[in-house]
C-alpha cells in the first residue's frame, strides 16, 4: 500500500528539476541519480504487481511481496534523504558568508563528497539487490501477465467544501420521527433525543439535518449550540465549548465547574435552546449526571440531541436526566439497503443508458458497503472519477485481507477507497495519522506540512493551490470534514484559515495504513516500552503531561509533533541525532528557549513554536536555510533576529498574536520567497518599514487588530501578487492611498472597523479581480469613490457606516 506510494513519490523527485536545484554541487553524483531513476522506471510495473500482491490472502508469495516492498521503501527513503541532503548543503554553500568556516564544519565540501560517495555506493548495491529479488521471486513475469490498471494520474474534479447540503438516503422514517420530536409548541418539558448507531451510519448527518432546519413556528429556538464531544471526555471542556458556541466568546481555560455553571445558567435563563452533543462516548453515571445538571437551565421546549455509538449512553441519560429532562426512546440507525447504497454511489452525471454495461458491477460493490453510508460515499467518489468497466471491476475484486475490522466491514470498505487514490494522495492521507484522534486539524498548517515532506510537487507559488485540491479530494471522499462554513476555493492560494476533522473510523484507517511509519503515545502507555519503532518516520508525543524525563528520539524520524507535553524538559542536544527531520512542532511543549540543536537541523522545513513562552530568538535561527514554514504565533516575542532575512526559502510566516512585537528588522525585506504573512493582533506594531514592498511574491497579508498601525508604506504598491489583505480593526489607520490601485490580483479586502478612514482612493476601483470588500463600521467613512460601480465585487459590506452618503447611482444599478 504505502510502500508503493512512497517509491513512486521518490521516483518522481528524481527529475532534471531536482538536479538543477542542487546547482554545481552534484560533482559526479548526477550519473548516480540518473542510474537510480532508470532502475526505478524499469521496476515500475513490478512495483504495481507487488503492491497488489501484498494485499493478498497470506500466501508465501504475498509475504515475499510484502518483504520486497519493505526493502524497496527503505531504499527509496535513503535516496530522498541523499537528494535533500545535497540540496540542503548546496543552499548552505551558496549563502555562507564565510568559506573559511566551511573548511572546519560538517558541511565542508570535501567531507560531504566522501560521505555522499559512500551513501551512493550503498544505495546502488541495495537497488541491485532489489532488482535481483524481483527476478528471483518471479515478480517480472508475473507482472507482465497482470492486467492491473495503473492509471492513477487522473484529472481532478473540484469539490466545494462549503456548508454541507444535508442529503440522506433511506432515512425518511427517522427524519419524520425526529421532526415530530423537535416540534416545540406546547411542550411541557425539556427533552433529550439520543441518536444511536455504529460509526459511519450517519448519526452526525442526522444531527446536522436537525441543526440546520430553517426557523419556523414549529422549529423555533432562541439559542443553538453544536458541541463536538469525542472519546476524550472532559466536562469542563464540554461546558466551556457550549458557552463559547452560545455567546461567541473564546472557550474559558482552567475555569471551575461552579463558575462555568453560573455563566451557562445566565445564558440559558428563560431561553428555549437546541444543543447538539455530537459523538458522546462517556458512560459513567456520575459524569453524565453532572453533565445533565449543568444543562438544566432554560425554558420548557428546549432540546438536547446526543449522537453516540453506545446504547448504554442513551439508557444512562434516561435515568440521570429524569428529574430535569424527558429522554425519548433512542433513534437507532441501522444499515442502509444495498439499493440505497447504490443510489449514493451511482454517478449522478451519467444516465442509466451510459452505464448499463457495468451497472451490475456497481451493485456488487454496493453490497460490499455493508449498509454504511460513509463507505458508500467514499467508494462512490472513487467510482465517479474512474467510470469505466475495468476500473469498477478492479474495485470490486480488491483483496482487502490485511485489516482487523470489528465494525461490519467499515474499515475494509474505506480501505478500498484508499487503494484507489493516486500515490501522492496516499502519502498525504497516511501523514494525517500523526494528528490525535478527534482533534481539529488546521487547514493551512496541514498543507504546509505536506509541502515540507515533499508530498506536493509543483512550481513555486503553486504548491498551496495543489494542496487545496488535495484537501478537496479528501472532502469529496468524506475522509476529511470541514468544521466551518467557509468555502474552499482552488482559485486562491490562501484564505482565512479554518479547521478540518477526520471521522474516527477514517482516523483508524490512517493509523492502519501508517503502521510502522508512525510511533505515538497518548499518555497511557509506558513510554519506555512504547519506544520500539526506532525506524519510524513520524512521531507523536501526545498528552504526556506527567512526562518530564527526556527520551532519545528515533534517528530517521522526519516529523515530530509534541502535544500537551507541559512538563517535558528538553536538553540542548535533544535533536542532535535527528538529522533528517523536516517537521518539528513544539507547540505542545513549555520551554522558554528552543534547544540549540534545533538550529543544526539543516533539512528542517517546518518549525512550529507557537504559544511557547519565548521572548527572543537567537541569530543562529538563520542557519535553518531550508526553512519554508515558521509559526511563532502567540509567543512573547518582542523582537525578531536582525538577520532573519537570510531565511530566503521561507514562504509561510505566522506571527499572529505576538502582542509585544513592535517592529520588523531591516533584513525582513529580504524574505524574497514569502507568500503568506500573518501579523494579526501584533498590538505594538505601529508601522511597516519602507522596504516592505520588496516582499513582491506575497499573496496573503493579515494586519487585522494591529490597532497602533497608523499608515502603510507606499512601497506596498509593489505587492503585485497580493490576493488577500486584511486591515480590519486597525483603528488608528488613517488612510489608504493611491498605491492600492496597483494590487491588480487583489480578491479580498477587509477594512472593517478602520474607524479613522474617511475616504477611499479612486484607484481602488481599478481592482478588476476584487470579489469581496468589507467596509463595515468604518464609522467616519463619508464617500465611496465615484466609479465604485466599475468593480465586479460579489460582496460589499457597509453595515455601520453611519456617515456614508450619496451612494452612486452607477453602483446601485450595477
Strand, helix or coil at 671?
coil
Strand, helix or coil at 678?
strand
Q: Is 489 among the domain residues?
A: yes
CA 5 to chain centre: 20
395 and 271 co-located in one domain: no
What are the pLDDT digits (tens) for 707-719?
Answer: 999 999 999 999 9
57 and 200 co-located in one domain: no
DSSP summary character for residue 764: G
- Is the pLDDT at 100 greater than 60? The verdict is no
**Which of 436, 430, 431 is closest to 543 using CA atoms?**
436
pLDDT band for 55, please (50, 70, 90 cuts). Answer: low
DSSP summary character for residue 324: T
- Of the candidate ranges 211-215, 249-253, 348-352, 564-568, the one whose mean pLDDT is the lowest: 348-352
Q: Is 136 among the domain residues?
A: yes
C-alpha distances (whole Å) from 371 to each of 16, 334, 342, 479 are: 49, 8, 10, 18
- What mean pLDDT comes out for the span 278-286? 90
- Is the pLDDT at 188 greater than 60? The verdict is yes
CA–CA–CA angle 6, 12, 13 (5° rounding): 95
Q: What residues have CB less than 8 Å from 737, skipping those under 6 apart?
A: 714, 761
Are the beta carbons of 294 and 257 closer than 8 angstroms? yes
pLDDT band for 138, please (50, 70, 90 cuts). Answer: low
Half-sphere exposure of 569 (CA within 13 A, CB side): 3
What are the pLDDT digits (tens) for 505-528?
Answer: 889 899 988 988 888 876 554 443
Name the residue range of residue 293's domain. Answer: 172-332
What's the confidence (pLDDT) of residue 723?
Answer: 96
**Which of 679, 676, 723 is closest to 703 using CA atoms?**
679
431 and 459 co-located in one domain: yes
The CB-based long-range contact list for 95-102 (8 Å cut-off, 24+ gap) reads 95/625, 95/646, 95/648
What's the confidence (pLDDT) of residue 13?
Answer: 78
- Is the pLDDT at 492 greater than 60? The verdict is no
- Is the pLDDT at 432 greater than 90? The verdict is yes
What's the confidence (pLDDT) of residue 2?
Answer: 67
- Is the pLDDT at 428 greater than 90? The verdict is yes
- What mean pLDDT comes out for the span 265-275? 91
What's the confidence (pLDDT) of residue 61?
Answer: 66
Phi/psi of residue 251, nearest 5 degrees: -55, 140
Domain boundary among 483, 506, 529: 506
Task: Give 178-197 as a 3 state SS string.
Answer: HHHHHCCCCCCCEEEEEEEC
- Of the candidate ranges 371-385, 449-463, 534-548, the one whose mean pLDDT is the lowest: 534-548
Say how many domains are in the chain: 3
| Cα(739)–Cα(692) distance, integer angstroms | 13
CB atoms within 10 A of CB 766: 18
- Is the pLDDT at 23 greater than 80? The verdict is no
What's the confidence (pLDDT) of residue 724?
Answer: 96
201 and 255 co-located in one domain: yes
Q: Is 688 among the domain residues?
A: no
What's the confidence (pLDDT) of residue 58?
Answer: 54
- What mean pLDDT comes out for the span 437-442? 88
Cell of 657: 498574536
Strand, helix or coil at 325?
strand
| Cα(193)–Cα(459) distance, integer angstroms | 52
- What mean pLDDT comes out for the span 417-437? 90
CB atoms within 10 A of CB 620: 14
Residues belonging to the chain:
814
Cell of 475: 472532502
**Position with higher pLDDT, 485 vs 609:** 609
- What mean pLDDT comes out for the span 126-135? 84
Domain boundary among 476, 506, 536: 506
What's the confidence (pLDDT) of residue 63?
Answer: 76
- What mean pLDDT comes out for the span 135-157? 46
- What mean pLDDT comes out for the span 337-360? 78
pLDDT band for 772, please (50, 70, 90 cuts). Answer: very high
99 and 187 co-located in one domain: no
- Is the pLDDT at 68 greater than 60? The verdict is yes
Cell of 576: 542532535
Q: If you average pLDDT over every residue of the chain, what do you get?
A: 82
110 and 88 co-located in one domain: yes
% the chain with pLDDT above 70: 81
**Helical (H) or strand (E) element with 502:** none
Phi/psi of residue 677, nearest 5 degrees: -140, 120
- Is the pLDDT at 167 greater than 70? The verdict is no
303 and 352 co-located in one domain: no
- Is the pLDDT at 160 greater than 50? The verdict is no
Give the β-pairing of 499-501 and 441-442. antiparallel
pLDDT band for 21, please (50, 70, 90 cuts). Answer: low
Q: What residues have CB less than 8 Å from 499, skipping those under 6 apart?
A: 440, 441, 442, 443, 482, 483, 484
| Cα(279)–Cα(201) distance, integer angstroms | 12
Highest averaged pLDDT of the listed ranges 202-206, 365-369, 672-676: 672-676
Domain boundary among 506, 537, 559: 506
What's the confidence (pLDDT) of residue 604?
Answer: 96
Residue 305 sits in a domain whose CATH number is: 3.40.50.300
Q: Is 675 among the domain residues?
A: no
What's the confidence (pLDDT) of residue 526?
Answer: 43
What are the pLDDT digits (tens) for 614-668?
Answer: 999 999 999 999 999 999 999 999 999 999 999 999 999 999 999 999 999 999 9
Q: Is 529 exposed, middle or buried (0-12, 13-18, 19+ CB in 10 A)?
A: exposed
**Which of 724, 735, 684 is closest to 705 using CA atoms?**
684
124 and 96 co-located in one domain: yes
Cell of 262: 453560573
- What mean pLDDT comes out for the span 411-424? 83
Q: At what angle do helices 29-42 and 2-13 cross, to 10 degrees?
A: 140
**Which of 714, 691, 795, 803 is closest to 761 using CA atoms?**
714
- Is the pLDDT at 103 greater than 50? The verdict is no
What are the pLDDT digits (tens) for 783-805?
Answer: 888 888 888 899 999 999 998 88
| Cα(701)–Cα(648) distance, integer angstroms | 18
pLDDT band for 150, please (50, 70, 90 cuts). Answer: very low
| Cα(279)–Cα(281) distance, integer angstroms | 6
**Which of 245, 244, 242, 164 is closest to 206 using CA atoms?**
164
Q: Is 229 among the domain residues?
A: yes
Phi/psi of residue 430, nearest 5 degrees: -55, -40
Q: Is 78 among the domain residues?
A: yes
Cell of 5: 506510494
Give the β-pairing of 748-750 and 325-327. unpaired
485 and 347 co-located in one domain: yes
What are the pLDDT digits (tens) for 218-230?
Answer: 678 889 999 988 8
365 and 379 co-located in one domain: yes
Are the beta carbons of 53 and 65 closer than 8 angstroms? yes
What's the confidence (pLDDT) of residue 812?
Answer: 52
What's the confidence (pLDDT) of residue 319?
Answer: 85
What's the confidence (pLDDT) of residue 200?
Answer: 83
284 and 428 co-located in one domain: no
Give the β-pairing of 748-750 and 772-774. parallel
- Is the pLDDT at 388 greater than 80? The verdict is yes
What's the confidence (pLDDT) of residue 810?
Answer: 42
pTM of the model: 0.78
Q: What residues have CB less than 8 Å from 258, skipping those under 6 apart?
A: none
What are the pLDDT digits (tens) for 596-611?
Answer: 999 999 999 999 999 9
Q: Is 457 among the domain residues?
A: yes
Are the beta carbons of 133 and 71 closer than 8 angstroms? yes
CA–CA–CA angle 155, 158, 164 (5° rounding): 145
327 and 344 co-located in one domain: no
Cell of 748: 479580498
Are the beta carbons of 467 and 574 closer than 8 angstroms? no
Are the beta carbons of 227 and 245 closer than 8 angstroms? yes
**Position with higher pLDDT, 70 vs 91:** 70
Beta strands in 365-475 (DSSP E): 441-442
pLDDT band for 144, please (50, 70, 90 cuts). Answer: very low
DSSP assignment of 275-306 equals EEEEEE----HHHHHHHHHHT--S-TT-EEEE
What's the confidence (pLDDT) of residue 156?
Answer: 29
Q: What residues have CB less than 8 Å from 745, skipping those under 6 apart?
A: 720, 721, 722, 723, 769
Q: Is 713 among the domain residues?
A: no
pLDDT band for 697, please (50, 70, 90 cuts). Answer: very high
pLDDT band for 493, please (50, 70, 90 cuts). Answer: very low
What's the confidence (pLDDT) of residue 163?
Answer: 37
| Cα(55)–Cα(711) distance, integer angstroms | 62
Strand, helix or coil at 224?
strand
- Of the candidate ranges 114-118, 448-452, 505-509, the one whose mean pLDDT is the lowest: 114-118
What's the confidence (pLDDT) of residue 149?
Answer: 38
- Is the pLDDT at 529 greater than 70? The verdict is no
Amino acid at each position: 500500500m504505502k510502500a508503493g506510494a512512497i517509491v513512486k513519490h521518490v521516483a518522481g523527485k528524481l527529475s532534471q528539476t531536482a538536479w538543477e536545484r542542487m546547482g554545481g554541487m552534484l560533482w559526479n553524483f548526477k550519473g548516480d541519480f540518473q542510474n537510480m531513476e532508470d532502475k526505478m522506471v524499469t521496476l515500475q510495473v513490478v512495483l504495481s504487481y507487488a503492491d497488489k500482491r501484498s494485499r493478498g490472502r497470506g500466501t508465501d508469495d504475498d509475504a515475499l511481496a510484502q518483504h520486497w516492498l519493505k526493502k524497496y521503501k527503505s531504499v527509496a527513503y535513503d535516496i530522498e534523504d541523499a537528494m535533500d541532503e545535497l540540496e540542503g548543503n548546496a543552499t548552505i554553500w551558496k549563502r555562507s558568508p564565510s568559506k573559511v568556516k566551511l573548511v572546519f564544519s560538517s558541511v565542508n565540501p570535501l567531507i560531504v563528497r566522501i560521505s555522499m560517495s559512500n551513501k551512493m555506493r550503498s544505495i546502488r548495491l541495495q537497488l541491485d539487490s532489489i532488482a535481483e529479488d524481483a527476478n528471483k521471486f518471479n515478480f517480472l513475469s508475473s507482472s507482465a501477465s497482470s492486467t492491473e490498471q495503473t492509471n492513477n494520474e487522473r484529472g481532478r474534479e473540484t469539490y466545494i467544501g462549503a456548508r454541507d447540503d444535508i442529503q440522506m438516503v433511506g432515512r425518511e422514517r427517522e427524519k419524520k420521527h425526529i421532526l415530530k420530536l423537535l416540534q416545540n409548541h406546547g411542550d411541557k418539558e425539556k427533552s433529550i433525543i439520543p441518536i444511536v448507531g455504529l460509526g459511519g451510519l450517519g448519526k452526525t448527518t442526522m444531527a446536522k439535518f436537525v441543526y440546520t432546519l430553517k426557523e419556523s413556528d414549529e422549529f423555533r429556538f432562541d439559542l443553538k449550540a453544536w458541541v463536538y464531544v469525542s472519546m476524550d471526555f472532559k466536562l469542563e471542556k464540554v461546558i466551556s465549548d457550549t458557552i463559547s458556541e452560545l455567546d461567541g466568546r473564546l472557550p474559558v481555560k482552567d475555569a471551575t465547574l461552579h463558575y462555568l455553571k453560573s455563566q451557562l445558567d445566565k445564558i440559558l435563563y428563560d431561553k428555549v435552546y437546541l444543543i447538539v452533543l455530537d459523538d458522546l462516548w462517556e458512560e459513567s453515571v456520575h459524569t453524565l449526571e453532572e453533565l445533565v445538571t449543568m444543562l438544566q437551565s432554560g425554558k420548557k421546549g428546549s432540546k438536547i440531541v446526543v449522537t453516540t455509538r453506545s446504547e448504554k449512553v442513551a439508557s444512562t441519560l434516561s435515568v440521570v436526566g429524569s428529574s430535569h429532562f424527558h429522554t425519548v426512546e433512542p433513534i437507532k440507525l441501522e444499515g442502509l439497503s444495498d439499493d440505497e447504497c447504490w443510489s449514493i454511489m451511482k454517478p449522478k452525471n451519467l444516465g442509466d443508458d451510459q452505464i448499463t454495461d457495468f451497472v451490475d458491477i456497481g451493485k456488487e460493490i454496493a453490497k460490499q458497503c455493508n449498509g454504511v453510508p460513509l463507505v458508500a460515499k467514499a467508494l462512490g467518489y472513487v467510482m465517479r472519477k474512474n467510470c469505466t468497466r475495468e476500473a469498477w471491476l478492479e474495485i470490486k475484486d480488491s483483496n482487502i485481507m490485511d485489516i482487523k475490522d470489528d465494525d461490519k466491514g467499515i474499515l475494509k470498505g474505506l480501505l478500498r477507497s484508499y487503494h484507489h487514490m493516486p500515490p501522492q494522495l496516499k502519502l498525504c492521507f497516511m501523514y494525517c495519522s500523526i494528528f490525535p484522534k478527534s482533534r481539529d486539524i488546521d487547514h493551512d498548517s496541514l498543507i504546509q506540512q505536506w509541502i515540507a515532506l515533499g508530498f506536493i510537487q509543483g512550481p513555486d507559488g503553486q504548491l498551496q493551490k495543489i494542496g487545496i485540491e488535495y484537501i478537496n479530494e479528501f472532502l469529496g471522499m468524506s475522509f476529511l470534514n470541514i468544521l466551518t462554513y467557509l468555502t474552499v476555493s482552488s482559485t486562491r492560494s490562501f484564505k482565512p484559515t479554518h479547521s478540518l476533522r477526520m471521522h474516527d473510523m477514517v482516523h483508524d484507517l490512517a493509523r492502519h495504513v501508517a503502521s510502522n511509519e508512525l510511533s505515538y503515545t497518548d499518555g497511557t502507555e509506558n513510554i519506555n516500552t512504547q519506544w520500539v519503532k526506532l525506524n519510524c518516520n513520524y512521531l507523536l508525543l501526545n498528552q504526556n503531561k506527567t512526562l518530564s524525563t527526556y527520551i532519545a528520539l528515533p534517528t530517521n524520524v522526519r516529523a515530530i509533533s509534541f502535544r500537551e507535553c507541559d512538563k517535558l524538559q528538553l536538553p540542548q542536544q535533544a535533536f542532535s541525532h535527528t538529522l533528517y527531520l523536516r517537521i518539528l512542532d513544539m507547540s505542545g511543549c513549555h520551554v522558554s528557549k528552543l534547544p540549540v540543536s534545533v538550529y543544526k537541523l539543516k533539512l528542517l522545513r517546518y518549525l512550529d513554536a507557537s504559544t511557547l513562552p519565548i521572548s527572543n530568538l537567537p541569530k543562529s535561527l538563520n542557519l535553518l536555510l531550508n526553512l519554508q514554514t515558521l509559526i511563532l504565533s502567540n509567543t512573547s516575542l518582542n523582537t525578531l533576529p536582525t538577520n532573519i532575512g537570510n531565511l530566503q526559502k521561507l514562504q509561510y510566516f505566522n506571527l499572529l498574536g505576538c502582542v509585544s512585537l513592535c517592529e520588523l528588522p531591516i533584513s525582513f525585506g529580504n524574505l524574497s520567497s514569502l507568500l503568506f504573512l500573518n501579523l494579526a493582533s501584533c498590538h505594538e506594531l505601529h508601522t511597516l518599514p519602507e522596504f516592505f514592498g520588496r516582499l513582491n511574491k506575497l499573496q496573503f497579508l493579515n494586519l487585522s487588530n494591529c490597532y497602533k498601525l497608523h499608515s502603510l508604506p507606499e512601497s506596498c504598491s509593489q505587492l503585485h501578487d497580493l490576493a488577500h489583505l486584511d486591515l480590519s480593526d486597525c483603528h488608528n489607520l488613517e488612510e489608504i492611498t493611491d498605491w492600492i490601485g496597483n494590487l491588480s490580483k487583489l480578491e479580498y479586502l477587509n477594512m472593517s472597523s478602520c474607524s479613522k478612514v474617511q475616504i477611499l482612493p479612486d484607484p481602488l476601483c481599478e481592482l478588476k479581480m476584487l470579489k469581496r470588500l468589507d467596509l463595515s463600521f468604518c464609522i467616519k467613512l463619508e464617500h465611496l469613490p465615484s466609479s465604485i460601480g466599475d468593480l465586479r465585487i460579489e460582496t460589499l459590506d457597509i453595515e455601520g457606516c453611519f456617515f456614508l452618503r450619496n451612494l452612486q447611482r452607477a453602483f446601485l444599478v450595477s
